[in-house]
Structure 1
Amino acid sequence: MAVPDQPNKHHKSRGDALPGDIATKSRSSSGPGGGGISGASAPIRRSAIFVPGNVEDGPAPSKPSGPASLPSTPSGSGPATVPPARSGLPALMQRPLDLTQVINWLQTDGWISPELAKATIDRCSHASSSQHPIVRLASVVVPRQLDGKALDVEMLTEFVAKHCGLPYYKIDPLKVDAAKVAETMGAPYAQRHGILPVQVTAQEVVIAVKEPWIDEWVGEVERQARRKVRRVLANPKDIDRYRNEFFALAKSVKAASKLGGSLSSLGNFEQLVDLSNTNQQFDANDQGIIRLVDWLWQFAFAQRASDIHLEPRRDQSVIRFRIDGVLHKVYQMPLGVHNAIVSRVKLLGRIDVVEKRRPQDGRIKTRNTLGDEVEMRLSTLPTAFGEKMVMRIFDPENTVKDLSALGFTPHDAQRWEKLVERPHGIILVTGPTGSGKTTTLYSTLKRLATEEVNVSTVEDPIEMIEPAFNQTQVQPALDFSFVEGLRALMRQDPDIIMVGEIRDLETAEMAVQSALTGHLVFSTLHTNDAPSAISRLMELGVPPYLINATLLGVLAQRLVRTLCPQCKQPDEEASTEALTSAIQPWKIKRDYRPYKPVGCEECRDTGFRGRMGLYELLTVSEALKDQVHGSPSMSVLRRQAVKDGMHPLRLAGALRVSEGLTTIEEVMANTPPIEMGDR
């Protein structure tokens, strides 16, 4: 069923004036496509092409004697050839994307039925006419005939790109140089034409567009940027969102650079910073550094970052995010801006701003743009080029989970839940820094913290505020250590105690004493696997008979990256030798289905998205207690633990590989090998 085209009401006439900051000659009146330049007598009008060095939008100083200044060519490349203003499409083709045309394409390709096409037009007629056709169509929730999936903006954008002959482009903000975006054109010009530069090289500018049939601006941009323009079609909502963010970021960096690290205008700190009130459209009166910090946090939250690194270098500073365990470079900025950002964050985190010669710690509690509370732990470190700062992000949704969401296998989940229900004793969680120990402990304590139970913690520092716990932080400057904290807690009538880490014999002895007096004690150790925790306690000086009397179990864990569900593919060439050798000794019947990472827009071409836990749970049985004496052999302890039901970390990883959740390489890189004594 052919549906007649309807005019798009939100498109403005091309004859509108284009105010901006570079004077350019008007297009010839020979055609609406602007195929030529008029003569010398033609009037002059202003466009918003950006002048390098002028980040803020506004008119540039007039130069009546010559043309507007242009970006310099790359070193060694010679003078650039300025292409004439031109339009690639005929004048009659310069029109906005039409909603009914897209619906006709969907019907022709069998995505929707003729009846649904007609109904969709009727439903879209009630949607806002100011929206882009793709956004309007996605808002009415049209199911795809092939599989019933709702047509979202991303799916429709890719579909339209194929029909229009333009490459589809998924904007990844981590791969866009915001500074170069702002140097290419001004924000008003980009907003007027619905475009956004996403990649700038010495030869070309890749520009994401919302309107595939309109390219009359291309010649003007090529002339001013002295580079070829390559158009790509991108999500219209992403173009609007990131255009605001990138130009606002560039404007804030410019404003912050003027401060030169000065702190006098930054004002007092707030205990709770409400990012949801941050105005995306910055005006000239905004304090650039405050807005820059707010943008940094919002961006990190949106990208699922676990850590923010601010690293001073010799001539500039680098911002990096850790996402799924891997660091990604986000932005470069002048050192003066770096110093201002660090000082601003130190103010908010109640850290001494003047002290720059020694490391300091602090914390900030804030909200993201959705209104959810987020906590950040701050750490500064003096380096050769200035203060380095790391902000570790603790999102309650990621830090405190239901036990079923931690990633235990059914075998270990049942054993762990049974273990933590014991009334008294010591339970240890081991693993390197960043292996998820805090998430496991907080999630377990949250499960146990009922109205009838008093849960108290002693931490260094408090990782995340949890209302269900009574949390205490050690303060070495006041001689308040883990030992002093445990002594104080013993007089607070606790039922369950969590000690941040057992570092020395005195802390271990207090933990043992607490367990002997009827308390359930959780703590952490730094060991490679679960059996090593027993030998570690003995190395600290805890007698074997006290270990046997109090230790209930040890959980060792690691984090591995999970394969992106959108792009992973079966790996027919994968060697299953390591997988088979890990699984076969336990006589576990599995259909091997190894997958490999491919890379797509959803995972930023890494092939991985998110992380999951691998666990090794040792429970102290009577048979194991018989082996804990003198200097027990690790192979003997490990063999007995396996007999009692412990699955080594590499076996847990092999099971996840067989399920297609991660790769053999990830497991091999993050888990210790299975020794012969384990089998």
Structure 2
Amino acid sequence: MIALFLEIARESGCRDVGALESLLSQGAGQRSPVLTALESRTVDEEGFLQRLASGLGLPWWNGSQEWDDATARALRRALPSDLALKHHLLPLRLESTLQGGTLSIATYDPCDLVRCGVAARIAGPTVRWEVATRASVAGGLQALYGVGAEAFEGILHEGEGGDDFDLEETLILDDTGDDEASVVTFVNQILRGALELRATDIHLEPMADQLRIRYRLDGILQEVPVPETIKAHQASVISRLKIMARLDIAEKRLPQDGRMALELDGRSIDVRVATIPSVEGESISLRLLGQETFSLDRLGLNAALRRTVDRLLSLPNGIVLVTGPTGSGKSTTLYSFLSRINTAERRIVTIEDPVENKLPGVVQIAVKPDIGLTFARGLRSILRGDPNVVMVGEMRDLETAEIAIRAALTGHLVFSTLHTNDAVSGITRLVDMGVERFLIGTAVRAFIAQRLVRRLCPKCREPHTMEAEDLRALGFPTSAEQNIFLPKGCLACRGSGFQGRLAIYEICLVTPALRALVSVGADEATLRHQAAQDGFISMRTYGIGKALAGETTVHEVLSATMSEGMDTSDDYEQFNPTPWQVTNTPPMAKMAL
């Protein structure tokens, strides 16, 4: 047997056959040789298991599987969760034959006779084995039985068929109960899963018949599969999160806000927690902060835009305003700017609501309206502290805007944000706030608008030809057809076709010509025309360039820039030809794999 495994290991590119042989000999008769080989880290897991499956005449399962509700229930009945989770056995499909039922089960260790024998005895029908990687089996178990199902192996069935009971009393009366330990483990797994997938938000939403849990991944909300009976422990799960956020677990009628700190693989994560009372129980939302590193390189600016940004960051004074809706990445852009100019010779002070990420070497202040610390009051205090650079989280009112302008006119470089759809309308927004036109032209150096679009998975994106006429219709100048890319979906991107997000930008520089038009009260259309003459490139054109470079899709760009005032309904359909491009990222059942 050892000789067979060593031969398979050699064929799959084993890095140290001698070490593996020693480990197999030591564990002979005591543990599975497959697990020994995998844990030795001397073999490529997928290659090794594929060759093993071929040698045993077993089919290979690549981790791609979705189940409808009825099928999932039937599979869970055929192979109970405690058995499946304990032995890492994933039921794939249940087929009826003339001789009876056949249950296909995926395992990463088909040589473990104990687990295979137990499964065959318990499952009832004839078992047909398939081989898969450990990650594929784990992801499938999560999708089928739910995230954190193993935490509740011993207690989940207590609620089935009986009354809906509240474990909160157990939490209060018995610190060491198994139920509490299971709740703690479940919550930790939900949090860890979100961090590993780089989710930005987690939502726990009580429904009439379930506790729905969703992650926001790459800007899209995705439902997390959880055990069906987790509804019975809803109050305990919510209470656990409230305890972690230092909230009042007895107060369930009013909204509450809190924070907690998490750590994963050496990364410190700050979590903002907000609860709201609903008719089905408290709903709780968690915003995960501090997962990013900030640099201009990570913004993915093209060469021309990078040169413009570098010039803006080298200015001794003036205001640079970043515009866009909530969730468009404005804070990340500002933090990246500050990181670029954060040197020993500069004093940088920020005032934010709230402080989303901590920047080494930067003095950061959190707004506290309940004690009178507003943006305007904080900014006045900052200017008395001899700063070189100031960042104001948001320019919300005339008072803050006027103080920021005075700061820029007295030798400070100021960064802030506005909520507008595009760069040029930032001028109109300041005028509507009551800022004098001549001050806008004198103090503001640039308006930068941005949106976030999903980044194509580089491992599975597929090329597609786009006609020059279609590109010109979108405002992208070209005389020849171009290759664009479409999402496909693979294991690396969890079936979505996308990995992460990137920003698309437009920068409106306040040139002398534009400054003159602002001062005389020119309308927005005139300002746009002048900006175009000054070299302004729209966000859509910039985004189409990113699509042609294979970084995103035309559909993503059109979707993100619909608010630019262009009629894009026909374009949107034309470049979104298949259903999977319209829909959100595929279900967590696929993502987990």
SS in 2 for 1:518: coil
State the distance in 2 between where 1:175 and 1:514 align. Answer: 60
* Aligned partners of 1:171 and 1:198 also within 8 Å: no
* Aligned partners of 1:457 and 1:471 also within 8 Å: yes
* Aligned partners of 1:591 and 1:658 also within 8 Å: no
Query: In the TM superposition, what is the alpha-carbon distance from 1:662 to its structure 2 partner?
Result: 1.4
* Aligned partners of 1:428 and 1:523 also within 8 Å: yes
User: Which residue number corresponds to residue 217 of structure 2?
Assistant: 323
User: Which residue number corresponds to residue 92 of structure 1?
Assistant: none
User: Per-residue CA shift, 1:443-462, capped at 9, x if unaligned?
Assistant: 21122222222221111122
Q: How does 1:134-283 map to 2 (within 5 A)?
A: 136=37, 152-161=44-53, 164-170=57-63, 184-185=79-80, 187=82, 191=86, 195-197=88-90, 199=92, 206-212=104-110, 221=119, 224-225=122-123, 229-236=127-134, 239=137, 246-251=148-153, 254=156, 260-262=166-168, 265=171
> Equivalent of 2:531, from 632, 638, 641?
641
Larger Rg: 1
User: Which residue number corresponds to residue 412 of structure 2?
Assistant: 519
SS in 1 for 2:407: helix
SS in 1 for 2:417: strand
Structure 2 regions of 5+ residues with no counterpart?
Answer: 97-101, 567-593
State the distance in 2 between where 1:619 and 1:410 align. Answer: 17
Structural RMSD (CA): 3.8
Give the aligned length. Answer: 543
State the distance in 2 between where 1:238 and 1:605 align. Answer: 12
SS in 1 for 2:225: strand
TM-score when normalising by structure 2: 0.80
Query: In the TM superposition, what is the alpha-carbon distance from 1:261 to its structure 2 partner?
Result: 4.9
* Aligned partners of 1:171 and 1:234 also within 8 Å: no
- Say if 2:239 is the partner of 1:347: no
Query: In the TM superposition, what is the alpha-carbon distance from 1:215 to its structure 2 partner?
Result: 7.2
- Say if 2:458 is the partner of 1:565: yes
SS in 1 for 2:320: strand
SS in 1 for 2:338: helix
State the distance in 1 between where 2:271 and 2:236 align. Answer: 19
User: Which residue number corresponds to residue 185 of structure 2?
Assistant: 291
- Say if 2:5 is the partner of 1:99: yes
Query: In the TM superposition, what is the alpha-carbon distance from 1:184 to its structure 2 partner?
Result: 3.0
User: Which residue number corresponds to residue 594 of structure 1?
Assistant: 484
Q: How does 1:468-507 map to 2 (within 5 A)?
A: 468-507=361-400
State the distance in 1 between where 2:288 and 2:74 align. Answer: 26
State the distance in 2 between where 1:509 and 1:202 align. Answer: 72
TM-score when normalising by structure 1: 0.71
* Aligned partners of 2:110 and 2:116 also within 8 Å: no
- Say if 2:331 is the partner of 1:438: yes
Greater percentage in helix: 2
State the distance in 2 between where 1:260 and 1:405 align. Answer: 47
User: Per-residue CA shift, 1:16-58, capped at 9, x if unaligned?
Assistant: xxxxxxxxxxxxxxxxxxxxxxxxxxxxxxxxxxxxxxxxxxx
User: Per-residue CA shift, 1:472-501, capped at 9, x if unaligned?
Assistant: 222222222111211222222222111111
Taking a change above 3 Å as real, the CA distance of residues 674 and 301 of structure 1, as seen in their structure-2 partners, is: closer
* Aligned partners of 1:138 and 1:153 also within 8 Å: no
Q: How does 1:400-549 map to 2 (within 5 A)?
A: 400-549=293-442
* Aligned partners of 1:446 and 1:468 also within 8 Å: no
Query: In the TM superposition, what is the alpha-carbon distance from 1:551 to its structure 2 partner?
Result: 0.5
State the distance in 2 between where 1:455 and 1:365 align. Answer: 25
User: Per-residue CA shift, 1:361-386, capped at 9, x if unaligned?
Assistant: 22222201x12111112222222322
User: Which residue number corresponds to residue 75 of structure 1?
Assistant: none
Query: In the TM superposition, what is the alpha-carbon distance from 1:465 to its structure 2 partner?
Result: 2.8
Higher relative contact order (CA 8 A, sep 6+): 2
State the distance in 1 between where 2:66 and 2:243 align. Answer: 28
What letter matches 1:262 in structure 2? E
State the distance in 1 between where 2:397 and 2:257 align. Answer: 22
Moved more, 446-455 or 221-230: 221-230
Taking a change above 3 Å as real, the CA distance of residues 334 and 190 of structure 1, as seen in their structure-2 partners, is: closer
* Aligned partners of 1:318 and 1:329 also within 8 Å: yes
Q: How does 1:42-61 map to 2 (within 5 A)?
A: none
User: Per-residue CA shift, 1:389-435, capped at 9, x if unaligned?
Assistant: 11111244x2x322111111111011112102211111111112211
Q: How does 1:24-63 map to 2 (within 5 A)?
A: none
Taking a change above 3 Å as real, the CA distance of residues 566 and 189 of structure 1, as seen in their structure-2 partners, is: closer
- Say if 2:549 is the partner of 1:659: yes
State the distance in 2 between where 1:133 and 1:216 align. Answer: 13
> Equivalent of 1:391, from 279, 286, 289?
286
SS in 2 for 1:632: coil
Taking a change above 3 Å as real, the CA distance of residues 631 and 161 of structure 1, as seen in their structure-2 partners, is: farther
Query: In the TM superposition, what is the alpha-carbon distance from 1:167 to its structure 2 partner?
Result: 2.8
SS in 2 for 1:524: strand
What letter matches 2:8 in structure 1? V
Q: How does 1:373-388 map to 2 (within 5 A)?
A: 373-388=268-283
User: Per-residue CA shift, 1:160-184, capped at 9, x if unaligned?
Assistant: 4455341323389999989986993
State the distance in 1 between where 2:154 and 2:353 align. Answer: 35
Taking a change above 3 Å as real, the CA distance of residues 335 and 217 of structure 1, as seen in their structure-2 partners, is: closer
State the distance in 2 between where 1:395 and 1:252 align. Answer: 35
What letter matches 2:152 in structure 1? A
* Aligned partners of 2:375 and 2:400 also within 8 Å: yes
What letter matches 1:166 in structure 2? P
State the distance in 2 between where 1:438 and 1:179 align. Answer: 47
Structure 1 regions of 5+ residues with no counterpart?
Answer: 8-97, 107-111, 142-150, 268-281
State the distance in 1 between where 2:179 and 2:108 align. Answer: 31
State the distance in 2 between where 1:656 and 1:132 align. Answer: 48
